[in-house]
């Protein structure tokens, strides 16, 4: 009996270890032409496509989005000219985007057990989060990267261009543990002299960026970004995005120390509110 138990435990730990190694492995920087427009049959089919670690774009088929959950919460709003933020109602956030001021937001909400999670995430997913993002027209976000198991962006309104590249050992990593944001100093929007990034098309890989790719994601489309990918968002309009992220057991194991530090730091801050 003890032998069987130890064998089972060994196999379990071996599987977790192999998946952790796989999760921490960086992508091949020369693996180009990896943006695909797809259709999928069901969640299982979607997960198989995501497991290939390619950038995927598809039409939104989420049948249920609780708009009350989104509109009835306070949004963490930040002017991109400084690092401070305030909490504002959702309608104030929407109006602020019309003022041609560079505002952005990141506002993680736990959505474990909600229908949205079941539509996009694997069955065995953990720390399921919804992040409401937004920006004014022509705002370009910093270059972020993520270490989640799954990350999907749904364009709620407007259109955005997204430049992407695999994370490399040469990238200088900056960790903002309070906001749980991982970024690099690597600029992604460096167009060639004759390239107009506003004319990007979702079906065309932009070869004007060295080892970078870009695409346009339109309203009601979803883009899947594999883990350990850098990305920067250019807002072509005043746009709002929903960011759906989740961990697997292996990615959670890789990030547990960051998550603990994040929650510790959150207890040491005080948010300013606007009613």
Lowest-pLDDT choice from 151-155, 217-221, 256-260: 256-260
Predicted confidence at residue 236, as pLDDT, reads 92
| Residue 199, CA distances (Å) to 77, 138, 224, 234 in order | 29, 13, 21, 12
Report residue 24's pLDDT band, with 50, 70 and 90 as the boundaries: low
Instruction: Tell me what the pLDDT averaged over the chain comes to.
Output: 75
Task: For residue 14, tell me if it sits in a domain.
Answer: no
Predicted confidence at residue 77, as pLDDT, reads 74
Task: For residue 2, tell me if it sits in a domain.
Answer: no
**Percentage, residues of the chain above pLDDT 90:** 15
Beta strands in 115-262 (DSSP E): 126-135, 143-145, 150-157, 160-166, 173-176, 181-184, 213-217, 221-224, 229-235, 239-247
Predicted confidence at residue 223, as pLDDT, reads 95
Residue 110 domain boundaries: 35-190+197-273
Q: Who has greater pLDDT, 273 or 8?
A: 8
Residue 236 to residue 109: CA distance in whole angstroms: 26
**Percentage, residues of the chain above pLDDT 70:** 66
* Count: domains in the chain: 1
157: CATH: 2.60.120.10
Task: For residue 119, tell me if it sits in a domain.
Answer: yes
108-110 and 126-135 beta bridge pairing: antiparallel
Predicted confidence at residue 227, as pLDDT, reads 87
* pTM (predicted TM-score): 0.78
Task: For residue 3, tell me if it sits in a domain.
Answer: no
Task: For residue 11, tell me if it sits in a domain.
Answer: no
Six-digit token string for 235: 């807002």
User: Please, are residues 84 and 108 in contact by the beta-carbon 8 Å criterion?
Assistant: no
Which pLDDT tens digit goes with each residue over 29-40? 555 557 889 999
Which pLDDT tens digit goes with each residue over 167-225? 887 888 888 877 788 888 888 876 544 334 333 333 333 333 445 788 999 999 999 99
- How many residues are recorded in the chain? 275
Task: For residue 210, tell me if it sits in a domain.
Answer: yes
Report residue 90's pLDDT band, with 50, 70 and 90 as the boundaries: confident
- Which residues, 6+ apart, have CB-to-CB distance to 235 below 8 Å? 134, 135, 136, 137, 138, 139, 140, 158, 160
Which pLDDT tens digit goes with each residue over 130-144? 888 888 888 888 899
Task: For residue 133, tell me if it sits in a domain.
Answer: yes
Task: For residue 13, tell me if it sits in a domain.
Answer: no
Predicted confidence at residue 192, as pLDDT, reads 42
| Sheet of strand 143-145, all strands in order from the earlier edge strand to the far edge | 173-176, 181-184, 143-145, 229-235, 160-166, 213-217
Which DSSP symbol is given to 140? B
Predicted confidence at residue 142, as pLDDT, reads 86
Predicted confidence at residue 15, as pLDDT, reads 62
pLDDT exceeds 60 at position 118: yes
């Amino acid at each position: 009996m003890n032998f069987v138990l130890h064998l089972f435990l060994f196999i379990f730990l071996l599987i977790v270890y192999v998946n952790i190694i796989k999760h921490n492995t960086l992508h091949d920087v020369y693996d180009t032409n990896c943006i695909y427009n797809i259709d999928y049959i069901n969640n299982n089919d979607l997960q198989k496509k995501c497991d290939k670690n390619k950038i995927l774009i598809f039409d939104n088929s989420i049948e249920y989005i609780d708009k009350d959950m989104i509109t009835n919460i306070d949004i963490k709003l930040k002017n991109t000219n400084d690092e401070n933020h305030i909490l504002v109602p959702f309608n104030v956030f929407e109006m602020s985007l019309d003022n041609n001021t560079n505002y952005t937001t990141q506002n993680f909400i736990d959505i474990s057990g909600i229908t949205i999670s079941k539509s996009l995430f694997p069955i065995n997913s953990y720390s399921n989060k919804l992040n409401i993002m937004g920006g004014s027209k022509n705002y370009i976000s910093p270059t972020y990267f993520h270490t989640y198991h799954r990350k999907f962006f749904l364009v709620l309104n407007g259109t955005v261009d997204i430049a992407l590249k695999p994370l490399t050992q040469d990238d200088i990593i900056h960790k903002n543990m309070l906001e749980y944001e991982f970024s690099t100093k690597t600029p992604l929007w460096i167009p060639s002299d004759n390239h107009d990034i506003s004319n990007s098309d979702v079906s065309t890989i932009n070869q004007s960026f060295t080892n970078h790719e870009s695409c346009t994601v339109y309203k009601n489309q979803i883009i899947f970004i594999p883990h350990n990918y850098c990305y920067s968002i250019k807002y072509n309009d005043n746009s709002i995005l929903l960011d759906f992220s989740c961990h697997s057991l292996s990615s959670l194991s890789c990030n547990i120390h960051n998550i603990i530090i994040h929650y510790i730091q959150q207890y040491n801050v005080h948010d300013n509110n606007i009613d």
